[in-house]
Chains A and B, each alone.
Chain A
Amino acid sequence: MDNIAGKSSGLKWAVNISVALLVIAWLIPTVGLFVSSFRDRDQITASGWWNAPFSVELTYRTRANDGEPVQEGDLWVVEGNIFATSEVSEAFASGEAAVTAFGVTGREPTAYPAGTEGETRDGGTLTVNADGSYRYTTAETPDDRGLRIYFGADTPPDFTMDNYLTILTAQTEEEREEAYAAGQTFWEILSDENGVFRNFINTFTVTIPSTVIPILIAAFAAYALAWMDFPGRGLLIAAIVGLLVVPLQLALVPLLNLHNQIGIGQSFVGIWLAHTGFGLPLAIYLLRNYMVGLPRDIIESAKVDGATDFQIFTKIILPLSFPALASFAIFQFLWTWNDLLVAKVFLPSDDASKVMTVRIADDLLGSRGGDWGILAAAAFVSIAVPVLVFFTMQRYLVRGLLAGSVK
């Protein structure tokens, strides 16, 4: 149909270009945060993520303390290289940076362009060249600490996993190094109570039982609704379709009270039960729709051969329904993994019991509000798993969507 009349090549180009633009527009937000999660914190604030591959001008301060003062006539001269001074030597270990400007006061850290001569507060002169070499001359005896110098340097892009490690372990780079030095293993550092890794594990703890249990319950119910005859069947199906759209909000208060009364309270058991209950209507609906479509002949010939309903279900229906079971499993997994509301209400509110979404929304966004590297890393730790599931199981997900686009 590609060469039909009225579909000119110009139109084809327009279609290609507009789809490309739409895809780019859809990807930009995610890509931006993804790139930022690997950037150094100072670089994030200094330049936009779209400039990530290019070097950034960052401002540093240091002291001219790497060279011994030498007396030349009336003047004292200090010479050295600014990148080798003790306060910044670590940041420039790779040695690719270039000084763009320098200054001697914190108010004007880039008052003089590199290579020119600037005036220091004690009446001396200071020259800093692009390669970092500097020359400081003064009439007075320089003190031991060295002259305070501010400078702007073009810093090469710095991609790091540091954000991820910091957020997972709740320890900064220095703290982690101290812990290593104290003999802790990586695993011990990762198991830190305050780290997001704990919340990551919690999310799995919530998600897996909440996905597996409703499938079983729903499969039996769906079989009964699809292939067994009994009075009230139509009514039950209608009720399940109705329950599909009951807003979760309605369930929160009464169920939390119920859980408190029977002693479950806010706990993992409580959230498993809640997710099971909330997931059931969609599970039953999807599975029933699929099972009804299975060929009647197979089931009837099995019955003629003397198979019981139980045998038909376990030996014939269940294996044949695998695609529907898979698509519901993916739905429920994505839904429980991404859920914020149920986890907020049914889990205890201490950091150690939170799931990823709650930790990000309630804790990190408040306490780390401006620290984008950290926030981005946390977001991608939480996004990685569902996106992986999504891309590997997309086929089943689409099938499920087509079968039960009601929820």
Chain B
Amino acid sequence: MSPLLQGVITIFVGVFGCVGYFYAANLVLDKVIFPPRGPHAGRNINRATAVRPWLFLFPAIFALSLYLVYPVIGSLWRSMHNRAGDEFIALDNYLFLFEDPEFLQALFNNALWALVVPAAATFLGLLVAQLTDRLSWGNIAKSLIFMPMAISFVGASLIWKFVYAGDPDIGIINALRDGIGLDPMDPVQVPFWNNFFLMAILVWIQTGFAMVILSAALRGIPEETVEAAIIDGANPFQLFFKIKVPQIMGTIVVVWTTITILVLKVFDIVYTMTGGNFGTQILPSYMMSFMFRDDGRATAVAVVIMIVVLPVMIWNIRQAQKEMR
């Protein structure tokens, strides 16, 4: 059977299965288990109301626990076993990691990514958002800067591989270097700085995201505060840094953390550009080097990534709870 046909069937089965489940479960609940008639009509209605939320939630809770909660525990458990998975070795995998120079390199690079990319993307996004704010063609400019968001990390890597290509007749960077009389170089192989050339790709993608959110936040600033500042004689820079930025600080933090989480998970760029060579290894691509080879070590790396993300997660939950109150 062709996968396409299989896909169409799956959509039908999935969609009708879901609708069917919700409809049938609801019907059974109302008509069969707790019918709203007879001697216990009132009690039955109350009971049906108490059960119904769980009926609606069941598929989601089931899928979430199987695909996200179970793996957290499963990975933790698996990471304490050896390669074959039949022997409990406690923390040996982790000890191995912390003695492996490549892991330490990946950890260091990851920290670098987590510092530089969110900062650069948020800063550039804020800059573009402010500059385009009152521009007649601002929306077109924003659309174009936002566009890389739609491009896959693999596609983006290919696009930038072309920019960085070593031949001055192909890569525009080396064409510029050639133009001012410098020798061609491969930016991806320059020790240490190549990390930043890879980060540029993610910044290129994420600036649009930061820009969209911050642009909306800038529009949400009450006009009165801006007008008052202008009447008091603030120049455009003071207006921006002392009046506008403090008012959207909350949004800036959200954008910053969102990009940080993304940075910690992205493996595609390093995988496509260098495969982790030339000192550009990061944790997610380091994990892929063990995937399908040594599940114990692969899961150990995954757990380390989880631990790194954990503070952001807790902070997110706190924020969400604050909003709900």
Q: Give residues in A with beta carbon < 8 Å to B.
A: 1-2, 4-7, 11, 15-16, 18-20, 22-23, 26-30, 32-33, 36, 44-50, 201-202, 204-206, 208-209, 212-213, 216-218, 220-221, 223-225, 228-230, 233-234, 236-238, 240-255, 257-258, 268-269, 272-274, 276-278, 280-281, 284, 308-310, 313, 334, 337-341, 344-345, 353, 357, 360-361, 365, 372, 375-376, 379, 382-383, 386-387, 389-391, 394, 398, 401-402, 405-407
A257 CB to nearest chain B CB (Å)? 8
Q: Is B50 an interface residue (CB 8 A)?
A: yes
Q: Which residues of B contact A308 (CB under 8 A)?
A: 26, 30
A278 to B67, CA, bound (A): 7
Majority-rule SS of B interface residues: helix
**Given A48-B169, A398-B212; A220-B22 close (CB under 8 Å):** yes
For A372, list chain B residues within 8 Å (CB): 162, 165, 170
Contact of B14 (CB < 8 Å), options: A209, A251, A406: A209
User: Quick one: closest A residue to B18, CB to CB?
Assistant: A216
| Pairwise interchain contact A15-B135, C-beta atoms closer than 8 A | yes
Given contacts A247-B264, A390-B147, A405-B254, contact A284 B152 (CB under 8 A): no
Residues of B within 8 A of A376 (CB): 158, 162
CA distance A260 to B148 in the complex (A): 36
Known: A29-B160, A360-B154, A361-B271. Is A220-B10 also a contact (CB below 8 A)?
no
Q: Among the listed stretches B113-121, B182-190, B241-249, B298-306, which one makes contact with chain A, having 4 or more residues with CB under 8 Å of it?
A: B298-306
- Add 7 more A-B contacts to A208-B11, A340-B154, A341-B267 (CB < 8 A): A45-B169, A220-B57, A254-B299, A258-B70, A268-B3, A340-B152, A360-B155
Residue contact B172 to A28, C-beta cutoff 8 Å:
yes
List B contacts of A228 (CB < 8 A).
Answer: 52-53, 56
Bound together, the chains give a CA A252 to CA B169 distance in angstroms of 41
Taken together as a complex, chains A and B put the C-alpha atoms of A33 and B149 apart, in Å, by 17
Q: Are A253 and B299 in contact (CB under 8 A)?
A: yes
Residue contact B302 to A247, C-beta cutoff 8 Å: yes
> Nearest A residue to B70 by beta-carbon distance?
A254
| Residues from chain B with Cβ under 8 Å of A406 in the complex | 254, 258, 316
Nearest CB in chain A: distance from B289 CB, A:
12
Chain A residues contacting B228 (CB-CB under 8 Å) are: none
Whether the Cβ atoms of A47 and B30 lie closer than 8 Å is no
Contact A249 B301 (CB under 8 A): yes
Q: Assuming A208-B11, A234-B324, A405-B255, is B158 touching A379 (CB within 8 A)?
A: yes
Contact of A277 among B63, B135, B265, B298 (CB under 8 A): B63
Complex contact A249–B154 (CB within 8 A): no
Chain B residues in 8 Å Cβ range of A310: 22-23, 26
Within the complex, the shortest CB–CB distance from B71 to chain A, in Å, comes to 4
Give the chain A neighbours of B56 by CB distance below 8 A.
Answer: 220-221, 223-224, 228, 309, 313
Roughly how many angstroms separate A280 CA and B62 CA in the complex, as a whole number?
11
Partner pick for B235 among A6, A20, A205, A253, CB 8 A cutoff: A6
28 contacts across the A-B interface (CB closer than 8 A): A7-B236, A19-B141, A22-B128, A32-B159, A50-B175, A213-B18, A216-B18, A225-B57, A230-B50, A236-B57, A245-B309, A245-B312, A247-B264, A249-B265, A250-B75, A250-B305, A253-B298, A257-B295, A258-B66, A268-B6, A278-B68, A338-B155, A357-B268, A361-B157, A365-B158, A382-B155, A387-B151, A391-B147
